[in-house]
């Protein structure tokens, strides 16, 4: 199976049954977290002064919510990883590195955190069950054609959801093309990838 990470779908794979939509946990929890962070900001004391009880209370509440979000991400990641590992014996995974840039949006940060948690869960699960994991360097994976290997001259804008190859004319959803590129780069055969099931032993 080939796996590409993204914002809309946490994981897009070469198998339609194994795509993982972006979980919205977060959404209400994130608002909750933001509220506690604002409370902390209002209750902050000047330097070298002890924290007020209100500040400590808000900080405790914020920590509790962050923990909850992290646990939910891990849980979703593990459940998904279990299915992927059960149904495939070789995995080609985009070697995603979170950026956490200051200028990224909240949505991007949430997506990055979800991807990190899911990738960790997947690699752990695969190792536990003796699956082969190929980590694929992410450079140009959205620009290459999974069918003929041609590289597009320009990166697709994020709004463009369809990959159209100028060399061979292949048209496929952008993330599906990337997932397939993972397979090709890992040296796995894309044609048989969806059909392999791990040996029963």
Per-residue binder mask for Zn ion (CB under 5 A), 138-157, x = binder: -------x-xx-x-------
Nearer Cβ to Zn ion, position 143 or 170?
A: 170
CB of 176 to Zn ion, least distance (A): 14
SS3 per residue for 75-121: HHHHHHHHHHHHHCCEEEEECCCCCCCCCCCHHHHHHHHHHHHHHHH
CA separation (Å) from 162 to 156, 157, 173?
9, 10, 4
CB of 7 closer than 8 Å to CB of 22: yes
CB of 2 to Zn ion, least distance (A): 16
Nearer Cβ to Zn ion, position 62 or 165?
A: 165
CB of 174 to Zn ion, least distance (A): 14
CB of 189 closer than 8 Å to CB of 96: no
CB of 142 to Zn ion, least distance (A): 14
Helices (H) and strands (E) in the chain, counts: 5, 7
Per-residue binder mask for Zn ion (CB under 5 A), 169-188, x = binder: -x------------------
Residues of the shown chain interacting with Zn ion in the complex, contacts defined by CB under 5 A: 145, 147-148, 150, 165, 167-168, 170
């Amino acid at each position: 199976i080939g796996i590409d990470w993204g914002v809309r779908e946490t994981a897009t794979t070469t198998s339609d049954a194994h795509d993982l939509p972006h979980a919205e946990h977060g959404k209400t929890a994130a608002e909750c977290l933001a509220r506690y962070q604002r409370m902390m900001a209002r209750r902050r004391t000047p330097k070298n002064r002890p924290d007020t009880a209100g500040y400590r209370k808000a900080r405790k509440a914020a920590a509790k919510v962050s923990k909850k979000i992290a646990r939910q991400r891990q849980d979703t990641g593990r459940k998904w990883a279990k299915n992927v590992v059960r149904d495939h014996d070789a995995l080609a995974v985009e070697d995603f590195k979170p950026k956490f840039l200051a200028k990224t949006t909240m949505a991007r940060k949430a997506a990055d955190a979800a991807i990190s948690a899911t990738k960790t869960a997947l690699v752990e699960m695969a190792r536990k069950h003796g699956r082969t994991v190929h980590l694929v360097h992410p450079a140009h994976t959205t620009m290459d054609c999974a069918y003929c290997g041609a590289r597009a001259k320009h990166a697709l804008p994020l709004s463009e959801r369809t990959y159209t190859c100028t060399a061979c004319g292949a048209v496929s959803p952008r993330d599906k093309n990337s997932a397939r590129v993972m397979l090709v780069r890992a040296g796995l055969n894309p044609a048989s990838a969806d059909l392999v099931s791990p040996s029963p032993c």
